[in-house]
Amino acid sequence: MGRIFFIVGMCVVVISAAVGGGWLWLTRGFDAPGPLKSDVTLIIPKGSGTGSIANNLVSAGIIGDPLIFKLGHRFLSAPGPMRAGEYRFLAGLSAAGTIKLLQSGKTVVRKLTIAEGLSNAEIATLISRAQGLTGLTGPLPAEGGLLPETYHFSFGDRRSTLVARMRGAMTKLLGELWPKRAPNLPIKTPEAAMILASIVEKETGTAEERPRVAAVFHNRLRKNMRLQSDPTVVFGLTLGRAPLGRPISKADLKSETAFNTYVIKGLPPGPIANPGRAAIESVLRPAITDELYFVADGTGGHAFAKTLKQHQRNVVKWRKIEKARRKTSQ
């Protein structure tokens, strides 16, 4: 009988030692630094189970032992599922840290920057080419309905959702700025403000000039003068679908389009681009000036004038600059 107790006791000791050793192996391996030598980004597909995730992590060199990962997830980690998405794993991240990251859902944040003054067609092209987005762009709002901005998104987000965010951002911004407009403006609706803001956006990329350019157009509208804006001529010919690809000709200035403000009086029927916040603000709170004209000055900005005679002198100066540049480029 004593021999039996001895054998049973030894078995218990051996089993306990094995269990204890296994537990020590698991806990040490779970918290030990992983084999990854440098940071890496990996996408965990939707619907992936623990085994599939472990295999992907091993293949990417993020963890070394899939068994430690699976057992650690079951017995050692905090409760909660591991989430799909695109993650950035830091060099040496342990299996424990890897599971914690996947449970947090802190995926890689991607971004897409939409520059001010782009047309709907140009924005649609950028969205369609953006890596990490899924699905079709879907129908776009009318020209001018998307707010140029930097937008953040995660891998797998839908293109149509991003378009909806851009549209909502523009609606919200206009609702915020319109009530703050200066009194006695010649434009009477938010829609008219957007049209004029799109023209200002295309006329100048110089921030400090925008309120002054906007003031010129306001002054011309008050006097029932044609706006005579070159960008409206270009949009009338291309509808924003592609660049004109050449200088504007005299024939272009006479083109019978609904957007050509050398031909029509007042504003065109809609925006010619998607204006940014600064351009909209400039239209709603323009500079105080009597100026009616502006022309390029050769420095990237414009020369402004109150009278046609002054403007004509500025035009002569600009023509000389253009002529000198053509000679230099030959």
Give the 3-state secondary structure of residue 143.
Answer: coil
Span 279-311, pLDDT tens digits: 999 999 999 999 999 999 888 899 999 999 999
Q: Which domain holds residue 147?
A: 110-173
Q: Which residue has the higher pLDDT, 129 or 13?
A: 129
- 97 lies in the same domain as 192: no
Least confident of 9-13, 172-176, 206-210: 9-13
Give the number of other CB atoms < 10 A from CB of residue 254.
11
Question: Model confidence at 3, in pLDDT bands (50, 70, 90)?
Answer: low
Provide the domain count of the chain.
Answer: 3
34-46 mean pLDDT: 95
Verify that 152 and 269 share a domain, yes or no: no
Continuous segment of H or E residues that includes residue 87: strand 85-89
231 shares a domain with 282: yes
Q: Which amino acid is at 234?
A: V
Identify the residue with better confidence: 25 or 17. 25
pLDDT for 19: 47
* 196, 324: one domain: yes
CATH code of the domain in which 101 resides: 3.30.1490.480
Cβ proximity of 132 and 86 under 8 Å: yes
Residues 97 and 226 grouped into a single domain: no
Model confidence at 12, pLDDT cuts 50, 70, 90, reads very low
| Same domain as 240, residue 121 | no
Q: DSSP secondary-structure letter at 111?
A: E
Whether residue 194 contacts residue 144, with contact meaning beta carbons closer than 8 Å, is answered with yes
In a domain, 31, yes or no: no
Q: With contact defined as beta carbons under 8 Å apart, do 132 and 156 qualify?
A: yes
* 50 and 152 co-located in one domain: no
The Cα–Cα gap between 161 and 127 comes to 11
Model pTM? 0.84
Residue 318 has pLDDT above 80, yes or no: yes
| pLDDT tens digit sequence for 150-160 | 999 999 999 99
For residues 63-75, average pLDDT: 93
